[in-house]
Each structure stands twice: as C-alpha cells, then as structure tokens.
Structure 1
Amino acid sequence: MVAYLWLVWYDAASKVSPKHWTLAVTYEAHDRAYATVYEVMSDNTGEYRSRVIRRVHLTSNHPSGAYGGRMLLGEINDNVLRSLEAYSETAAELVNSQNRKRGQNSSNCHDWAHVIVRSLEDAMLLPQGSLARVEKCPRVG
C-alpha cells in the first residue's frame, strides 16, 4: 500500500520564534485525511525526544500553534513506514548530539526533519530534490 509523507508546520508564538515542524503520513492526499504524526519535542533537560501521535487530521492545529501549512514530500511504501519511528528516534539523537556541540542557545529542532528527509532521499525512497524543497520551508514566525 502506498502512503504519503508530508512536512507540516505550525504557526510560531511570535515573529521571531521557530515554527514547529512535523512529518505526517497519510493514506489519502486530502486535507481531512487522518495522519500519523512524527515529531520531536524538547524535554525539561533541553534535549529533543521523538514522539508519534496517531489519528490526527492532516490540517489540525497542534498544541504548539495553529496549522500553518504543509508540503507533500512524496509517496512512501510500507517498508519506509515501518522504519519511520526508528528514523525519527535516530534523527533526534543526532540533533541532540550536534546541539550539545553548538551550545545551548543555538539548537535547531528543524535539523531533525532535514536528517530524516536527507536519509530517505539518499536511499532513493523520496524523490530527488525533496531536501532542497524542505530547506525552503518557513522556519520562523
């Protein structure tokens, strides 16, 4: 069965705050499709933890902000879908490691999505150019 992988972003609390990004998987390509959402959230130590939320509408608001927009990254197969949670956890670990090297005030949660999309594109599981499109998506405000 084919599924659709989306990058979804939510409005930030202010014009200088980062937008919250998630990756969402649906089996239908319309606004009211139910999605499984993959994301990272900061814990009380300042590190990102991967989490999965099931059965949310693709265009629903998120507790961190109102729905802002989305971009279809491509179709994925069941093998990718089964691995996506592991990809998310590994990407969170990589981002946390990089953020520790950068310092506390320069962490970047958007790197999590970049790591996953780059991995899927490099493995030819997403179309070429997917990462370049993600890099153009709104990050702030």
Structure 2
Amino acid sequence: MVAFLWLVWYQATTRVTPKHWALAVTYELNERAFATMYQIIGDGSGMGQFAPNVARRVLLMGTQGPHSYEGKLLLGEIFDNIIGALEMYSESAVDIVNTNNRRRGIGDSNCQDWVLIIVRSLEDAHWLPKGTLGRVERCPRVG
C-alpha cells in the first residue's frame, strides 16, 4: 500500500527560536487526513537530550503538543515496508542528535537535524526522490 510522507513544521515560541519539525505519514493527500507523526521531544533533563515519539491518528494540520501548526511539505510516496523502517530510522537519528549534543554542547542539534538525517537516509536508499533533502533544507527553520 502507498502512503505519503510529509515534513510538518510548527510555530516557534519566539522569532529567534527554532520551529518544531516532525515527519507525518498519511494514506490520503487530503489536508484533513489523519497522520502518524514521528518526532523527537526533549527528555525532560534540560541537557539537550531527546527521545523519539510516535503519535497516531493526529490531524495532519493539527496542533502537536504546545506547537501550533504552521506549514507542511510533501516529501513523496512511500510503501508500507518503509513505514515499518521509519521507527528504526527515528531511533538511530535521535541517537546521532543526542551524541552530537553531548559532544558539542546543549541544544546544538535539534528536531530539524533529526529530520535531515532521516530524509538523507531515505533519499540515499532511493526511497525518496533525488532532491528531496534539498527541498527540506529550504524549509523555514526559525521563528
């Protein structure tokens, strides 16, 4: 079965803070579709460490926790076997982000880096069209 992978971003808390990015999977192109959201959230330690989070049956254009929806970008069509691997990619990418934060400093890497790692991996595996990473890199990042 074919699904659709989206980058979704949410309003930043201030004009100088990063927007929250998440990946969403839907089975419809409809903007009112329900999605499975993949994201990372702070682990509560205040040390710049994150944990993967999966939320099911979330409105594609809905609020995510404290974050108000702002925009989205369709990344491409994906198949069910890729969706199954998405949680594994998510966990690996959060490990990379957390390791980078431990080495370089608190908050140096965030949800946007996590998305970029996953999209790069999916594009390198030819599961997303060539050029997808470049499109993601041009999406709004700050306030």
* Structure 2 length-normalised TM: 0.95
Specify whether residues 105 and 57 from structure 1 end up closer, same or farther in structure 2 by C-alpha distance, changes over 3 A only.
closer
Runs of 4+ in 1 over 6 A off after TM superposition: none
Q: Could you report, residue by residue, the CA deviation over 1:20-39 in whole angstroms, capped at 9, with x for unpaired residues?
A: 11000000001110100000
Q: Could you report, residue by residue, the CA deviation over 1:67-97 in whole angstroms, capped at 9, with x for unpaired residues?
A: 1000000000111011111110110001111
Q: Is the contact made by 2:5 and 2:78 (CA closer than 8 Å) also made in structure 1?
A: yes
Specify whether residues 105 and 62 from structure 1 end up closer, same or farther in structure 2 by C-alpha distance, changes over 3 A only.
closer
Partner of 1:97: 99
Structure 1 window deviating more from structure 2 (37-46 vs 1-10): it is 37-46
Query: How do residues 25-104 of structure 1 correspond to structure 2 at under 5 angstroms?
Result: 25-45=25-45, 46-104=48-106
Identify unmatched segments of 5+ residues in structure 2: none
Identify unmatched segments of 5+ residues in structure 1: none
Aligned residues: 141
Q: Could you report, residue by residue, the CA deviation over 1:73-130 in whole angstroms, capped at 9, with x for unpaired residues?
A: 0000111011111110110001111121211252333110001000000000000001
The aligned amino acid for 2:33 is A
Q: Supply the RMSD in Å over aligned alpha carbons.
A: 1.0
* Structure 1 length-normalised TM: 0.96
Q: Is the contact made by 2:39 and 2:111 (CA closer than 8 Å) also made in structure 1?
A: no
The aligned amino acid for 1:83 is A
The aligned amino acid for 1:23 is L
What's the % identity of the aligned pairs?
Answer: 56
SS of 2:28's partner is: coil
